[in-house]
Amino acid sequence: MTSRAARSAQFGATEGEGIIRCDACPVLCRIRPGRAGACARYANQDGVLVRTDPVVALAHAVDSNAPLVPFAQQEWDGALLDPARAFLTGVGSGTTYPDYKPAPFIVGSTHDGVDTVTVVTEGMFSYCGVKVKIDTDRHLGPEAAAVRVNGEQVGHVTTAEYGSQMLSIGGVRHLTGGSKKEGVVTCDTLLKLCGAEPVEVTIDGGHAVVVQAGAAPIVDGTPETRMRVGCGSAAIGIFAQQWAGHVDEVIVVDDHITGVLTEHQAGRVLDMRPAGIRVRGRRSTPGRYFQVAQPGLGWGGTDITDPLAIIERIDPKLAWPGLRLLFTSTTGDHALYCVLDDALRPVAAEMPAAVRAVVDRIGENCEPSLCSVLFMAGAGGSLRAGVTENPVLLTRSVARGETRVTMGGAPVYLWPGGGITVMADVLRMPKRAFGHVPTPAIVAPIEFTLPRALYERLGGHMDQVQPVEAVLRGLGEDLRVGTWHPANPWPFAR
């Protein structure tokens, strides 16, 4: 049942005067001929309710050496697509509401002699959001601070990770628990982030950041280029041997852990003479200092612009005139070479080439600064009724790894425990994979792939299974064929 009229009946019902009521979500739009519904995903075209975007199938190369099927748009004929290499995604497939209706497509195919079923739908997610990883040591804002778009709170700063600041955006509280405007702005922000569009956020007590999946963050108008090589202590550990003999002390300035080479275990093992330069902050273990300064946009994610400011004292019993001292940040973006004068005061001097080479190597070892966006959602609710009459069996099967979950063909990380809580990299998904409905909620593709015999045991909608050939043929011009993302595992592989 894939003809346009049949699909129309799946999502709506005809009312008088050519009006069609769209049933695909709780908004239940009444759509006049030639008009689209509130989400623009469905329209009344000559009395037929159509999904305004094509369904996306992805064509897989026969083997890794074979050329991938070129992306085809209007001219592609789905009938030409080898069904054995086709994966029908949820993109453009449509949502079903109320959810007891079977999913829009339940596709049967055979792979390596195994009869397989893929249940294909677009889920409506109120319980969803994105986790944003921003590779930078710049301080963007305090942990737990509000993240805003157009003044509305859409998320918060969450725990920083190694070399990255993290944001949590969206979630049910911002989508549904605040004002209508908060929900609308949150939904719009999620949609843009999931579509790899740039979004400018501001952080209370922090900075303005332009975030875009796959692009470098822009902090207060300045594009970030480098992700730090590690914390100050790690940088000491990595480069200590390369510094030995060329400098007498190295201080690697870092917002979290500032490293001091001769005190650090790395310097001791290399038998370096203690330099007697004590930095500010709280000493954690030898050569590792916390809180040497306030967080900021200066050296190593601190507010330091003059590294000499972090020297608390220089011990005259240990230091000596002529001592060669290097300060560097964890990206190598900032570096200062000094020599102690007769009064044991650091005096800036020209950096020797051998020292410069190691600072440059820090920079060389920094990866490009990027933003990553992972969509996270709970698919363990009513969506499951479109897959099976006994939803808990699906949940258990997913948890056991028998049923594969993909989003637009992209692999998901499945959280342990109850429900079907998944995360997927939006850059592994087809373009324009996400939509929204004004409830507000995000619409995202999701597919469940499993052996046909298992699907039957789970209480699947067996009478709705259609051969993949029939589905592709029936979609006709409503089908768009894209190329399988080469990094995504093929869901039918054993």
- Is 146 a residue that touches ligand SF4 (CB under 6 A)? no
Give min distance, CB of 439 to ligand SF4, in A. Answer: 8
What interhelical angle do 232-243 and 353-364 show, nearest 10? 140
Among 1, 19, 28, 339, binds ligand SF4 (CB under 6 A): 28
Among 2, 8, 39, 449, binds ligand SF4 (CB under 6 A): 39
Among 2, 8, 20, 24, binds ligand SF4 (CB under 6 A): 24
- Three-state SS at 146: strand
What CA–CA distance (Å, rounded) separates 379 from 44?
29
- Helices and strands of the chain, counted as H and E runs: 9, 35
- Candidates 33-41, 104-112, 334-342, 446-454; binding stretch for ligand SF4 (CB under 6 A): 33-41
| Residues 436-475 close enough to bind ligand SF4 by CB under 6 A | 437-438
Q: In terms of Cα–Cα distance, which of 369, 332, 407, 416 is closest to 90?
A: 407
- Is 37 a residue that touches ligand SF4 (CB under 6 A)? yes
Which backbone phi and psi does 456 adopt, to 5 degrees? -65, -45
Give min distance, CB of 51 to ligand SF4, in A. Answer: 9
Q: Are 453 and 412 in contact (CB under 8 A)?
A: no
- Distance, CA of 210 to chain centre: 15
- Candidates 31-39, 73-81, 310-318, 338-346; binding stretch for ligand SF4 (CB under 6 A): 31-39
- Three-state SS at 117: strand
Among 1, 9, 19, 38, binds ligand SF4 (CB under 6 A): 38
| Residues 404-443 close enough to bind ligand SF4 by CB under 6 A | 437-438
Measuring CA to CA, how many Å separate 334 from each of 88, 121, 226, 277, 325? 50, 51, 12, 20, 14
Question: Residue type at 422?
Answer: V
Give min distance, CB of 26 to ligand SF4, in A. Answer: 7
What CA–CA distance (Å, rounded) separates 429 from 485?
8
Q: In terms of Cα–Cα distance, which of 22, 20, 16 is closest to 39?
A: 22
188: CB partners within 8 A, 6+ apart? 149, 436
Q: By rule CB under 6 A, what string of x and - marks binding of each residue 220-259 to ligand SF4?
A: ----------------------------------------
Among 22, 340, 376, 379, binds ligand SF4 (CB under 6 A): 22
- Candidates 22-30, 140-148, 324-332, 368-376; binding stretch for ligand SF4 (CB under 6 A): 22-30
Pull the structure tokens for residue 400: 């056991």
* Residue number with the smallest Cβ distance to ligand SF4: 37
What CA–CA distance (Å, rounded) separates 60 from 66?
10
**# residues contacting ligand SF4 (CB under 6 A):** 13
- Is 184 a residue that touches ligand SF4 (CB under 6 A)? no
- Is 41 a residue that touches ligand SF4 (CB under 6 A)? yes
- Candidates 27-35, 53-61, 348-356, 478-486; binding stretch for ligand SF4 (CB under 6 A): 27-35
What CA–CA distance (Å, rounded) separates 384 from 389?
8
Nearer to ligand SF4, 52 or 110 (CB): 52
Nearer to ligand SF4, 30 or 246 (CB): 30
Give min distance, CB of 33 to ligand SF4, in A. Answer: 14
Q: Are 406 and 88 in contact (CB under 8 A)?
A: no
Nearer to ligand SF4, 142 or 438 (CB): 438
- Is 190 a residue that touches ligand SF4 (CB under 6 A)? no
What CA–CA distance (Å, rounded) separates 100 from 212?
37
- Is 191 a residue that touches ligand SF4 (CB under 6 A)? no
Nearer to ligand SF4, 257 or 437 (CB): 437
What CA–CA distance (Å, rounded) separates 329 from 359?
9
- Three-state SS at 420: coil
- Is 29 a residue that touches ligand SF4 (CB under 6 A)? yes
What CA–CA distance (Å, rounded) separates 200 from 217?
10
How many alpha carbons lie under 13 Å from residue 26 in its C-beta half-sphere? 9
Give min distance, CB of 157 to ligand SF4, in A. Answer: 32
- Is 196 a residue that touches ligand SF4 (CB under 6 A)? no
Give min distance, CB of 97 to ligand SF4, in A. Answer: 8
**Residues near ligand SF4, by CB under 6 A:** 22, 24-25, 27-29, 37-39, 41-42, 437-438
